[in-house]
């Protein structure tokens, strides 16, 4: 009888509960440090709602709106914790436990971001076992957003905050985990990752409807609308909208394969997506770092050039959009799969950008060599790069993948060497030299201009160069 009474009491209490919070506001969450974070939910209309945080003596009060919604800003201190947050309204209290204050990043894109530490079927992640075994760290937490495809904007996400440990990390994004792990290791502060990718997705699915209409055509959209998750804006509606306006530091992005067949408008799409998300969040030009499409020789498509053009579009986005950065992967592609196994290395390359641009490591090398200019002398082409202050190197690998052409625009494989003495008046102490006996008067050069290439050009700090070309006639 006592059991029945208790059961009835609990059911009754539950049915009268008024406070509703997004799943993002739950045990183990991470909030952005030194900020005024957005905090919202639903409760009994027209009632006073009180929020108490254990890191502050200040109590926040607000009145629930007529529609039952409420929203406040909570001031957060520098990194630390654990803390708790209590939300009280009309005699009901909800407590969020084990809250950390630190850095919060959103990870998104398609399958290369989705790929977990444990790998996929017949697709390994190099170093995964060691990473998993050493992953016990209460200062690293993940929120994996459940995939939702929607024609309308959804206001909440399914998922939960989980601490990093050997049981949970096999299901964390390998790239995002490596990014968070490296930054936590260097900075010794908590990191929270909201992970919201969808395999096989195209950029168009991640852009809000109003923005997408301005930057693309119905014909372009119809090309992709072959799968429900690639319909216009459906992933923005289902997997991004509900995260807004959860306060974040920035975004890491890994996508491109889905758009490689239509690379012509990819730069426009990415520029639009970045501006779209920044405008929606209202946090200014937050950092947006992305991974360049890795060389792909699978499915017999290694000699094609569509992916080279897409890599170029990604490079141009980095060079043209404020507060962006790109992790180059030209040296770690695969002839077997779309998913290069060096996921942990990719995460570190993204982290270098964050350290240099956001965490005070001014001057830390973070980009591989970027083509700047050429000079022609004695039938040879001398190539100069940005982000190669101390020169370029191949670390002993053959310098393949370079091509030159003359006035006829017919490209030939180029003999490439690194001249440590010739500077051509440039700052770099090492200059790349290209030549071919069939091109006595070279005018144009390109590098890595195929779907698959084993990139071997680096700056001396060990970061690889992107695909590039010196012309723009095709």
User: How does pLDDT run across 278-324, given as a tens digit for each residue?
Assistant: 999 999 999 999 999 999 887 556 678 999 999 999 999 999 999 99
pLDDT for the residue numbered 3:
37
**Does the structure show a pLDDT above 90 at 126?**
yes
Give the gyration radius of the chain's Cα atoms: 25
pLDDT for the residue numbered 6:
35
pLDDT for the residue numbered 431:
82
Tracing tokens 């799409």 back to the chain, one arrives at 269
Pairing of strands 380-386, 370-377: antiparallel
Looking at 281-406, which runs of residues are DSSP E strands? 288-291, 324-327, 370-377, 380-386, 392-393, 402-405
Residues 414-463: pLDDT tens digits? Answer: 999 998 776 666 666 678 899 999 999 999 999 999 999 999 999 999 99
Picking from 293, 466, 272, 474, the residue whose alpha carbon sits closest to that of residue 387 is 466
C-alpha 83/C-alpha 77 separation (Å) is 11
* Concatenated DSSP letters of 421-446: S--TT-S-SSEEEEE-TT-SS--EEE
C-alpha 172/C-alpha 174 separation (Å) is 6
Q: How far is CA 307 from CA 148, 203, 262, 330, 472, in A?
A: 28, 15, 10, 11, 16
pLDDT for the residue numbered 2:
37
What band does 226 get if pLDDT is binned at 50, 70 and 90? low
**Does the structure show a pLDDT above 80 at 224?**
no
Average pLDDT over residues 148-157: 94
pLDDT for the residue numbered 7:
35
Q: Which of 92-106, 205-219, 323-337 is most confident?
A: 92-106
Torsion sign across C-alpha atoms 10, 11, 13, 17: positive
C-alpha 30/C-alpha 104 separation (Å) is 7
C-alpha 316/C-alpha 371 separation (Å) is 11
C-alpha 207/C-alpha 232 separation (Å) is 8
Average pLDDT over residues 374-400: 92
User: Which CATH topology does 102-358 take?
Assistant: Rossmann fold (3.40.50)
Question: 377, 441 in Cβ contact below 8 A?
Answer: no
* N- to C-terminal Cα separation, the chain: 82
User: Which CATH topology does 16-99 take?
Assistant: Immunoglobulin-like (2.60.40)
With 0-12 / 13-18 / 19 or more C-beta atoms within 10 angstroms meaning exposed / middle / buried, residue 321 is: middle
C-alpha 150/C-alpha 135 separation (Å) is 34
Q: Which helix (H) or strand (E) holds 96?
A: strand 92-109
Q: What predicted TM-score, i.e. pTM, was given to this entire model?
A: 0.94
Any residues with CB less than 8 A from the CB of 52 and at least 6 apart, and which?
59, 60, 85, 86, 88
Picking from 472, 384, 467, 388, the residue whose alpha carbon sits closest to that of residue 423 is 384
């Amino acid at each position: 009888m006592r059991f029945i009474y208790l059961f009835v009491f609990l059911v009754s209490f539950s049915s009268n509960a008024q406070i509703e919070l997004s799943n993002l506001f739950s045990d183990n969450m991470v909030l952005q440090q030194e900020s005024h974070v957005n905090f919202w939910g639903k409760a009994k209309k027209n009632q006073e709602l009180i929020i108490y945080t254990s890191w502050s003596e200040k109590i926040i009060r607000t009145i629930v709106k007529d529609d039952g919604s409420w929203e406040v800003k909570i001031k957060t201190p520098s990194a630390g914790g654990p803390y708790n947050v209590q939300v009280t309204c009309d005699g009901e209290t909800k407590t969020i436990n084990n809250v950390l204050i630190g850095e919060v990043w959103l990870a998104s894109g398609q399958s290369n971001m989705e790929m977990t530490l444990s790998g996929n079927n017949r697709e390994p992640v190099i170093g995964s076992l060691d990473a998993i075994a050493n992953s016990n760290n209460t200062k690293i937490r993940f929120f994996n957003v459940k995939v939702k495809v929607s024609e309308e904007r959804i206001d909440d996400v399914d998922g939960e905050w989980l601490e990093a440990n050997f049981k949970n990390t096999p299901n964390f994004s390998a790239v995002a985990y490596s990014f968070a792990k490296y930054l936590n290791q260097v900075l010794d502060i908590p990191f929270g990752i909201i992970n919201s990718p969808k395999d096989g997705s195209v950029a168009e699915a991640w852009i809000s409807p109003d923005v997408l209409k301005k930057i693309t055509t119905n014909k372009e959209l119809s090309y992709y609308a072959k799968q429900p998750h690639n319909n216009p804006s459906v992933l923005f509606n289902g997997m991004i909208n509900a995260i807004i306006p959860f306060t974040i530091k920035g975004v890491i992005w890994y996508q491109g394969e889905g758009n490689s067949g239509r690379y012509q408008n990819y730069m426009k799409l990415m520029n639009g997506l970045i501006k779209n998300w920044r405008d929606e969040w209202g946090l200014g030009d937050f950092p947006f770092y992305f991974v360049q499409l890795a060389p792909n020789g699978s499915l017999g498509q290694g000699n094609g050039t569509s992916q080279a053009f897409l890599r170029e579009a990604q490079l141009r986005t980095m060079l043209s959009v404020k507060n962006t950065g790109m992790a180059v992967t030209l040296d770690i592609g695969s002839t077997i799969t779309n998913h290069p196994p060096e996921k942990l290395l990719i995460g570190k390359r993204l982290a270098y950008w964050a350290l240099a641009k956001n965490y005070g490591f001014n001057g830390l090398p973070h980009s591989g060599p970027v083509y700047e200019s050429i000079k022609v002398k004695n039938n040879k082409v001398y190539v100069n790069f940005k982000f190669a202050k101390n020169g370029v190197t191949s670390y002993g690998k053959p310098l393949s993948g370079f091509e030159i052409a003359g006035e006829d625009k017919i490209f030939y494989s180029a003999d490439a060497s690194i001249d440590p003495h010739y500077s051509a008046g440039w700052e770099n102490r090492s200059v790349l030299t290209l030549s071919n006996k069939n091109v006595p008067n070279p005018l144009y050069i390109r590098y890595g201009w195929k779907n698959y290439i084993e990139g071997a050009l680096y700056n001396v700090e060990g970061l690889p160069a992107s695909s590039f070309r010196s012309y723009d006639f095709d």
